[in-house]
């Protein structure tokens, strides 16, 4: 049986809000290690500057920087990209990599409008990379903000969970039940942890994510909520593609899904871009579903692909109150993810100082 210290977030009325609820800021981390980027660091940083500059026109952005070189590089590139200087600030913190969605905190809100954060163990997707500095970042963010921190001795990554604002959470067994995450927890224990830690009411399990995804199948590359009743689901139209069958199974699961109130969801198929590979043949998990929803805008990764514009056309009607913008991510994907993977939203609200 899962044994948790109390009070947990749900005990105090906290829950993880949907991404489209208003943001006080977006947090992101500036890329720094060329070896981790397969020699593409310069191009990755250029794409990052474009993303942050666009985002700064809509909301505040906090850029984590690992050292003086990263801070100087970020400031120079963001100035060139015409970022709004009033909406960008820098937070010096030791980092291993730039995937802040996964190693950073997950922010929560309660009924009184207060904001707190959760701090999970980050082990770099089951011990695949070094994570000794990244796992300490949520505590650093809590200190920076003076915010209540709920610490859990369990592995969890933000990209592994997708929620709407009605307490429905979607995840994958291939990731959260991987023996390299929390081997001591079974599916029931993991559901109990998600309910206690994130305040969700319903947990929906998909089997797996994309081929080549070093995260073991994060949900944020395959299925996303656009509103409480609408989902997009990545699909492949090529039966010879390794992703074809598992993505079709995900689609069928979602079409049969019902809310806690027995209502169906609208499920919109979203095509995958053409397969991307590293020079050594490794498949990259490129996906248009890895978009980021911010105040007034949705940032969608594009890949110099014939399907880029189709993906944007499919997504625009689903966000009628936001601009849906394509942001180049062809260099970024060499690290294994796109714009949702490198961002984390801080909801608006009064900070709970604990």
- The whole-number average pLDDT for the span 225-251 is 95
pLDDT band at 275 (very low <50, low <70, confident <90, very high): confident
76-80, 122-126, 236-240, 246-250, range with the lowest pLDDT? 236-240
User: At residue 12, does pLDDT exceed 70?
Assistant: yes
What is the predicted pLDDT for the residue at 280? 79
pLDDT of 82 reads: 97
Average pLDDT, the chain: 95
Inform me whether the pLDDT recorded for 40 exceeds 70: yes
Looking at residue 98, its pLDDT comes to 96
Q: Which domain holds residue 201?
A: 10-351
The reported pLDDT for the residue numbered 325 is 98
pLDDT on residue 6: 87
Look up 233 and say whether it is catalytic: no
Instruction: Let me know: does 18 contact 199? Beta carbons within 8 Å.
Output: no
Number of domains making up the chain? 1
User: In sequence order, what DSSP letters do the residues of 264-305 get, joined into one string?
Assistant: BPEEEEEEPPSPEE-TTS-EE---TT--EEETTEEEEEE-S-
**Confidence band (pLDDT; 50, 70, 90) for 127?**
very high
- How far apart, in whole angstroms, are the C-alpha atoms of residue 332 and residue 52? 13
Query: What percent of the chain lies above the pLDDT cut of 70?
Result: 100
Listed in sequence order, the residues at least 6 apart from 343 whose beta carbon sits closer than 8 Å to its beta carbon are 26, 27, 28, 55, 100, 101, 292
How far CA 195 is from CA of 115, 121, 229, 328, 347, in Å, comes to 18, 17, 20, 36, 19
Tokens of 117: 């954060």
Contacting residues for 304 by C-beta, under 8 A, at least 6 apart? 328, 330
Are 233 and 250 spatial neighbours (Cβ–Cβ below 8 Å)? yes
Q: Is residue 197 part of a domain?
A: yes
CA distance linking residue 47 with residue 50, whole number of Å: 5
Gap between the Cα atoms of 193 and 198, Å rounded: 8
Q: CB-side exposure of 41: number of CA atoms within 13 Å?
A: 13
Q: Is the pLDDT of residue 354 over 90?
A: no
Distances (CA, A) of 71 to 43, 88, 177: 17, 12, 37
45 domain residue, yes or no: yes
Which pair of tokens denotes residue 2?
């899962």
Whole-number Å distance between alpha carbons of 296 and 116: 24
Q: Which residues contact 5 (CB under 8 A, 6 or more apart)?
A: none
Catalytic residue among 175, 226, 233, 341: 341
State the pLDDT at residue 212: 87
Q: Does any domain span residue 5?
A: no
Instruction: Find the helix packing angle between 41-56 and 68-80, rounded to 10°.
Output: 60
Residue 160, domain CATH: 3.75.10.10
Quote the CA–CA distance of 345 and 331 in Å, as a whole number: 23
Domain membership of residue 339 (yes or no) is: yes
**Interval 298-309 mean pLDDT:** 97
In a domain, 1, yes or no: no
Band of residue 1 on the pLDDT scale cut at 50, 70, 90? low
Q: Does the residue 25 lie in any domain?
A: yes
- What are the pLDDT digits (tens) for 88-108? 999 999 999 999 999 999 999
What value does the mean pLDDT take over residues 34-40?
85
Percent of the residues in the chain that have a pLDDT greater than 90, as a whole number: 89
Which helix (DSSP H) or strand (DSSP E) does residue 152 occupy? strand 149-155
Residue 346 — very low, low, confident or very high, per pLDDT cuts 50/70/90? very high
Question: Would residue 278 count as lying in a domain?
Answer: yes
Note the maximum CA span of the chain: 54
Tell the burial category of 92 from Cβ atoms under 10 Å away from its Cβ (0-12, 13-18, 19+): middle
Predicted pLDDT of residue 281: 76
70 in a structural domain: yes
Long-range contacts of residues 191-194, Cβ cutoff 8 Å, at least 24 apart: 192/2, 193/2, 193/4, 193/152, 193/154, 193/156, 194/161, 194/169
pLDDT in tens, 55-88: 999 999 999 999 999 999 999 999 999 999 999 9
280 burial (CB, 10 Å; 0-12 / 13-18 / 19+) is: exposed
Lowest mean pLDDT among 31-40, 180-189, 265-274, 316-325: 31-40
């Amino acid at each position: 049986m899962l044994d948790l210290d109390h009070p947990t977030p749900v005990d105090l009325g906290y829950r993880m809000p949907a991404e489209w609820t208003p943001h006080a800021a977006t947090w992101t981390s500036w890329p720094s290690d060329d070896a981790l980027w397969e020699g593409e660091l310069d191009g990755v940083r250029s794409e990052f500057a474009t993303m942050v500059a666009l985002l700064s026109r809509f909301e505040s952005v906090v850029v984590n920087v690992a050292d003086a070189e990263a801070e100087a590089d970020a400031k120079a590139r963001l100035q060139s990209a015409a970022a709004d200087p009033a909406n960008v600030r820098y937070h010096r913190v030791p980092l291993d990599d730039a995937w802040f969605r996964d190693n950073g905190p997950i922010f929560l809100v309660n009924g009184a409008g207060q904001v707190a954060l959760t701090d999970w163990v980050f082990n770099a997707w089951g011990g695949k990379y070094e994570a000794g500095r990244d796992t300490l970042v949520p505590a650093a963010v809590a200190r920076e903000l003076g915010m209540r921190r709920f610490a859990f001795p369990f592995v969890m990554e933000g990209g592994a969970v997708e929620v709407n604002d009605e307490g429905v959470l979607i995840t994958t067994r291939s990731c959260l039940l991987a023996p390299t995450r929390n081997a001591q927890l079974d599916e029931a224990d993991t559901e109990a942890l998600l309910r206690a830690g994130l305040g969700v009411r319903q947990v929906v399990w998909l089997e797996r994510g994309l081929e080549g995804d070093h995260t073991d199948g994060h949900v944020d590359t395959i299925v996303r909520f656009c509103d409480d009743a609408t989902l997009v689901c990545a699909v492949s139209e090529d039966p010879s593609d390794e992703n074809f069958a598992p993505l079709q199974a995900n689609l069928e699961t979602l079409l049969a899904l019902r809310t806690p109130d027995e209502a169906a969801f609208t499920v919109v198929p979203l095509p995958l871009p053409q397969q991307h590979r590293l020079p050594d043949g490794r498949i990259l998990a490129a996906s248009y579903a890895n978009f980021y929803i911010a105040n007034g805008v949705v940032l969608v990764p594009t890949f110099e692909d014939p399907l880029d514009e189709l993906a944007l056309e499919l997504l625009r009607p689903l966000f009628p109150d936001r601009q849906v913008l394509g942001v180049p991510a062809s260099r970024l994907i060499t690290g294994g993810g796109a714009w949702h993977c490198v961002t984390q939203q801080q909801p608006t609200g009064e900070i709970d100082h604990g």
